[in-house]
Chains A and B, each alone.
Chain A
Amino acid sequence: MKYALIPLLPFAAFLIIGLFGHWIRERAHWIAVPAVAGSFLLSLSTFNDIANGEPIRVTLYSWITSGAFDVNIGFYIDRLTVTMLLLVTIVSGLVHVYTIGYMHGEPGYARFFAYIALFTFSMLMLVMADNFLQLYVFWEAVGLCSYLLIGHWYDRKSACDAATKAFVVNRVGDFGFGLGIMLIFVTFGSLQYDQVFGHAALAEGLTINVLKPLGGEWLVGTLTVICLLLFTGAVGKSAQVPLHVWLPDAMEGPTPISALIHAATMVTAGVFMVARLSPLYNLAPAALDVVAVTGGATAVFAATIALTQNDIKRVVAYSTVSQLGYMMMACGLGAYTAGMYHLLTHGAFKALLFLGCGSVIIALHHEQDMRRMGGLKNKLPVTYWTMVIGSLALAGIPGFSGFFSKEEILAGAWAAGPLGKTLTVVGLVTAFMTAFYSFRLVFVAFWGESRVDPHHADHIHEPSWTMTMPLIILAILSIFAGYFGIPHFIEPVLQGPAGHDGTTAHDGPLLLKLVAIAMGIGGIVAAWVVYVKSPGLPDRLAEKWRQAYDYSFHKWYVDELYDRTIVKPTVDLANGLWRKVDVAVIDAMVNGVAAATVRWGRAMRLVQSGQVQHYALAMALGAVVILGMYLLFIP
């Protein structure tokens, strides 16, 4: 029963604030924060239960029983789940507290709390799901919350567009996800995890003829198809290439949700899903390769874009995409434990970075362009130091949590065959770029001369304790999360594929570790050289490699490509259909009926001439016709 309370407390907060927000208004945090805190404490208690015992299975409610289709609402809580529970409740709780300061005085204060409470509920239910349909439903629910929260300031058109974009792009991925679930049901006859995982080995030999609708023949393993379809959902949700386009635009939403949803929790649902479904993925090596390559490509792709962005939140957003790629890559190479470990540490320091950005933005009165920052080191000390800690963790500097998780990934990748070795090199290049752009942010925003708008320059001050306390807590976690021994905790649950020898960072080659550290430090030094030591160098470099700079700055023109090939034809088709079918045919028919009635009425009206002899004529005509018919038809 207490396990049900974990998600239900935030849900109750959502209901209360949602229904009574009009009267609650600025006091909404008194309801939301205790609810999330309660969830956190219950999650700790659950951690205790799991750490010492068996996984927990709870069936709450028999939802659908329709012939052979049985779906329940239930929980399956094992070590993987409980670590996610802790991550979600901690970050959500800290974001709740941060929001008290960030959204202070805003008109949508209560609404915001209601939505993040709803999001917390959905995320917890997703993580604790014990069957695919529940996973899918709450997958969509977190997408919905993301939409609601990105568009929180709904009077801004850019925010509404960004919210729609996020939802639509997610739906593209979720379409594949839905198909995957249907295929699972067709193959296994059930949607429960334990049933599907238990029989997974039996389905290894099954194949599907993929080209059947086109009359061709290409047999692909059923499990491979299932895993690939499910992975498309992860591509959408976790912003992998090519469905990454929504995440940078999602920065239109308030910074707390960028931290909560687009750094620590929702986007990690994709990685979580791949890890949770590892029994299936382990039997579909082709799918795993696709996952790994997609992850690696995403990691390096997004890192290149982050190098040149000027909006402080965009840099962190692309950084998130890149790190998600890292996690996917790890999972795809069989190192699920490493991927999840990085997910957890990343959750801490990325949320920290986002919240730090939020602090800067608030201090500068909603200024987000880094070119108008600078010299904030002394004016925002807490923010500065916590952001430095977060950036160090992100760059993988030894001693910080990010170092440990990145080492796990690189070691696991190196041990995973030739593909793994290739992707390790990709990962190292990305590590260099990651360090570079994260410290570019630090140097440009906090060091140097102040380029702040003089109007605001005088009242720059550290925000209230509600905003700085979460920063400090996350900074502490960013440092010490590496020492908790998370991989050992999760590893028993996440077996790699057959043939993977479960290499951990301890067993990896020493040279690899040193190169990774060198990449990290090298990135920082390079950023220092470019942005601190030689002013004017960035512009000269940009000129020298103009084309590369343009590609990077314009996000490799992916959005423009999509716009031209997908969006514009769809909009044109819709317009065409509207004009040619809806207006010209359907409306014309309806209006035509009305017009015809009017015309007919006008004609018929003329029969009423008021003259008796006309009526008599009509009668005579009728009599003649009847007589004629009698003559013709009767005898």
Chain B
Amino acid sequence: MVPLSYYMILSAIVFVTGVVGVLIRRNIIMLLLSIELMLNATNINFVAFSYYLDNIAGQVFVFFALTVAAAEVAVGLAIIIALYRVKATMNVEELNLMKW
């Protein structure tokens, strides 16, 4: 087996990729997709720890994280649809009503 740190590094790479994706994509949906990436990275981390430390709590937590991710996606996409109806744009840059 590989050392645990390898799984952590893998998770870190995926997580950072997700962060970068949040920062550089223009499309709102791609933003949410990148958030999914981040969530999955944490799932990998949890499961790896659960295996290496012989504690089932890690997997239980993944279960809940999964649940929350699903809920968040549902609501987020609903908001996006509602937003699209009003602004007719998917460009994050144009959603700047909170500008000074």
Contacts and interface: CB of A to CB of B under 8 A. Distances in A.
The answer to whether A and B come from one shared complex is: yes
Interface of A: 605-606, 608-613, 616-617, 620
A611 B95 CA distance: 7
Given A611-B92, A611-B93, A616 B100 contact: no
B23 interface: yes
A476 B5 CA distance: 124
Contact of B96 (A606, A609, A616, A617): A609
B22 A608 contact: no
Nearest to B99: A610
A627 to B, nearest CB: 11
B100 A620 contact: no
A609 B99 contact: yes
Interface in B70-100: 92-93, 95-100
Interface string B16-39: 000100111000000100000000
9 contacts: A608-B98, A609-B100, A611-B92, A612-B92, A612-B95, A613-B23, A613-B93, A616-B22, A617-B23
Interface residues of B, number: 13
Nearest to A611: B96
A610 B100 contact: yes
Nearest to B93: A611
Contacts of A605: 100
Contacts of B23: 613, 616-617, 620
Contacts of B24: 613
A606 B100 contact: yes
A391 to B, nearest CB: 87
B82 to A, nearest CB: 17
Interface of B: 19, 22-24, 31, 92-93, 95-100
Contacts, number: 32
A608 B100 CA distance: 6
B45 to A, nearest CB: 16
A610 B22 contact: no
Contacts of B97: 610
A617 B93 CA distance: 14
A613 B92 contact: yes
B72 to A, nearest CB: 16
A613 B19 CA distance: 11
A613 to B, nearest CB: 6
Chain B CB within 10 A, most for which of A605, A608, A610:
A610
A608 B96 CA distance: 10
Contacts of A612: 92, 95
B10 to A, nearest CB: 18
B18 to A, nearest CB: 11
A93 to B, nearest CB: 79
B48 to A, nearest CB: 21
Nearest to B20: A620
Nearest to B94: A611
Contact of B22 (A606, A609, A611, A613): A613
Contacts of A611: 92-93, 95-96, 99
Contacts of A617: 23
B33 to A, nearest CB: 14
Contacts of B19: 620
Given A609-B99, A610-B96, A610-B98, 9 more contacts: A608-B98, A608-B99, A608-B100, A610-B95, A611-B92, A611-B99, A612-B95, A613-B22, A616-B22
Contacts of A610: 95-100
List 6 tightest A-B contacts by C-beta distance, closest first: A610-B99, A610-B96, A608-B100, A610-B98, A605-B100, A611-B96
A606 B19 CA distance: 24
Nearest to A608: B100
A612 B99 CA distance: 10
A349 to B, nearest CB: 85
B38 to A, nearest CB: 12
A613 B31 CA distance: 9
B23 to A, nearest CB: 5
Nearest to A612: B92
A613 B28 CA distance: 10
Contacts of B99: 608-611
A617 B31 CA distance: 13
A605 B19 CA distance: 26
Contacts of B96: 609-611
